[in-house]
Chains A and B, each alone.
Chain A
Amino acid sequence: MFTFVTQYLSFLKLVPTMSWLFDGLLKLWAYFAKPVLLDWMDEIEAEVLQWQYTTSGIHKYGGMQFNYQGKEIGHIHSNGLLDMLLSRSVKAQLMQDGRISGHHTFKNTGWISFYICDIKEKDYALKLLRKGYERLVK
């Protein structure tokens, strides 16, 4: 569903509030279908906010965004999809492991996507966010 919307209905994000509304509905889906996902997102947020100079907020296209001194580390849509920017070399290295994929929209960039489906993947998402954080701190 998410893939269909981002591939074929991405123009709708230009409609004000549309992407937030979609993310709100993803939260509702998660609440009934996989409530633990919402708990994992809270745990990730709590962990990231312990890192120095980080803040969280709402991403412009919906979801939870993490920033380091105003610069985006990454964001998690409410279906558990983590999108974040890494260096191209780190991205290439991680993609060889097969756990992450290229960003669902921005191909040929350092952006990556990673679905959080279980608790191990929640921990892995935190590792990825840490890499993104360290990239910005340097």
Chain B
Amino acid sequence: MSRKNFLTDLKAYGISNLFAVGIIGINKYFIVDTHANADDIFVFSEFIITPMLMGIISAWFWRYSDLSSRGLTGKSFLNGCITIVLASGFLGEGFICLIIVSPLLFGSIIVGAFIGRAMFRRNNNTLNISIVGLTLVVFAADSLSEHHYENMVSDTIIVNAPPQQVWKNVVAFKRIKEKNKFWLFKIGMPSPVESTVEGYYLGAKRKCIFSNGYTFDEKIVTYDENKNLTFAITNQPRDPEIMGHIDIEQGQFLLKDNGDGTTTLVGNSRYKLYVFPTWYYDTWAQSITRNVHLRVMEHIKELSEVK
């Protein structure tokens, strides 16, 4: 690689990433939300529009380099890697978070680079300014819009035991020794391992302990024996993997006596999401919550079915 090309690449990576850091910083002042800590919110524009603009900026530096599609894709991938390293360093994002965000970042940077290449090949300044102007308008509109999203995930299993036998394992359960099946748990995402409770009554404090030692503090808000256990999450760990991105607000186990010695066990979790677009992040949130449910509920099933 010649010195000139090296400097061009350095400018392309450096300026596009500086732009991203700057615009995300500025954006924090304009995000409107009812959430107590608006700094935790990351919007569509930051994950899609900003990386696309990064791609366009880098393509501007490479406009005379006559890069092939292979070359442009490879350099954009490297640009995305630099962004991920910076996000890890400056925003304190965890490893799993970075895995989750990486398809959006890489895809958007690559798209931006190819849009930029098409723009600068045509060399139509009016069109180029219009495209960049339009993306900035979308960015501003998105940042100034209110962002609020809540959802609930529900899962059901059949336990071959009556509700009276299942109930005690729902309220608290011994350590899960079963190996993790979900790929994110296998690569290091904390998974639930144990639940403890100070007593079997309404208002009792409950703890859900995760594999890395983090604990969710809970309080039983509905105690309808053999039927309904609902608990509010009173304190959750400040884990870099979830910090500020999702708040689990309430968990619930519903038991239905099937009348044949079996119980239908329903697990519900209600959460609030602080990362957008939800069509992307809620897919992950649902999948992770579902796997947390299944790990716990299958353990409850196993404990309850022991003769």
Partner of B115, one of A15, A28, A30, A58: A58
Q: Which of B103-111, B165-173, B193-201 contacts A (4 or more CB under 8 A)?
A: B103-111
Is B74 in the interface zone, CB < 8 Å from A?
Answer: yes
Decide yes or no whether B126 CB sits under 8 A from chain A. no
A residues 41-64 touching B (CB-CB < 8 Å): 41-42, 56-58, 62
Residues in B whose Cβ lies below 8 Å from that of A17: 48, 52, 108, 111
Among B48, B110, B115, B277, residue most surrounded by chain A Cβ atoms (within 10 Å): B110
* A35/B107 in contact, CB under 8 A: no
A115 CB-CB contact with B under 8 Å: no
Residue interface bits B210-248, CB-to-A below 8 A is 1, else 0? 000000000000000000000000000000000000000
- Closest CB in chain B relative to A53 CB, distance in Å: 15
> Is B68 an interface position by the 8 A CB rule?
yes
Q: Does B253 reach chain A (CB closer than 8 Å)?
A: no
Determine whether B181 belongs to the interface, using a CB cutoff of 8 Å to chain A: no
A38 to B77, CA, bound (A): 14
Complex CA gap A30/B77 in Å reads: 12
B69 pairs with A41, CB closer than 8 A: yes
Residues of A22-47 whose CB lies within 8 A of B: 22-25, 27-28, 30-31, 35, 38-39, 41-42
Which residue from B69, B73, B108 sits with its C-beta under 8 Å from A21?
Answer: B108
Name the contact of A39 in the complex, choosing from B68, B77, B277 (C-beta under 8 A). B68
Question: Which chain A residues in 83-115 approach chain B with CB under 8 Å?
Answer: none
CB distance from A60 to the nearest CB of B (A): 12
Q: A38-B68, A58-B118 are in contact. Are A22 and B107 (CB under 8 A)?
A: yes
Q: How distant is the Cα of A38 from the Cα of B107 in the complex, in angstroms?
A: 16
CB–CB B70/A35 < 8 A = yes
Who on chain A is nearest to B106 by CB? A28
Query: Nearest-CB distance from A36 to chain B (Å)?
Result: 8
Residue pair B70, A21 in contact (C-beta under 8 Å): no
Interchain CB contact under 8 A, B77 and A21: no
Q: Which residue of B lies closest to A63 (CB)?
A: B114
**B86 nearest CB across to chain A (Å):** 19
Query: Which of these, A18, A24, A39, A58, contacts B70 with CB under 8 Å?
Result: A39
Contact B110 A27 (CB under 8 A): yes
Q: Are B107 and A31 in contact (CB under 8 A)?
A: no
CB–CB B48/A31 < 8 A: no
Q: Is the CB of A38 within 8 A of B104?
A: no
Size class of the contact patch on chain A: 20 to 34
A31 touches B68 (CB 8 A): no
B269-294: which residues lie under 8 A (CB-CB) from chain A? 277, 279
A27–B48 contact, CB under 8 A?
no
Provide the B32-58 mask, 1 if CB < 8 A to any CB of A, else 0: 000000000000000010001000000
Known: A17-B48, A42-B68. A25 touches B114 (CB 8 A): no
Determine the chain A residues whose CB is within 8 A of the CB of B48 once the complex forms. 17, 21
Tell me if B77 and A24 are in contact (CB < 8 A): no
Contact status of A28 and B110, CB under 8 A, knowing A17-B48, A21-B48, A21-B104: yes
Q: A15-B279, A28-B73, A57-B118 are contacts. A21–B111 as well, Cβ < 8 Å?
A: yes
Given the complex, which residues of B lie within 8 Å of A27, measured CB to CB? 69, 73, 110, 114
Show 27 residue pairs from A and B whose CB-CB distance is below 8 angstroms, ordered by the A residue: A12-B279, A15-B277, A17-B52, A17-B111, A18-B279, A20-B111, A21-B104, A21-B107, A21-B108, A22-B107, A24-B107, A24-B109, A24-B110, A24-B114, A25-B103, A25-B107, A31-B74, A31-B77, A38-B68, A38-B69, A38-B73, A39-B70, A42-B69, A56-B118, A57-B118, A58-B118, A62-B111
Task: Give the B-binding residues of A (Cβ under 8 A).
Answer: 12, 15, 17-18, 20-25, 27-28, 30-31, 35, 38-39, 41-42, 56-58, 62
Q: In the A-B complex, list the 6 residue pairs whose CB atoms are closest, starting with the nearest.
A: A24-B107, A24-B110, A24-B111, A38-B69, A21-B107, A38-B70
Q: Which B residues contact A (CB, under 8 angstroms)?
A: 48, 52, 68-70, 73-74, 77, 103-104, 106-111, 114-115, 118, 277, 279
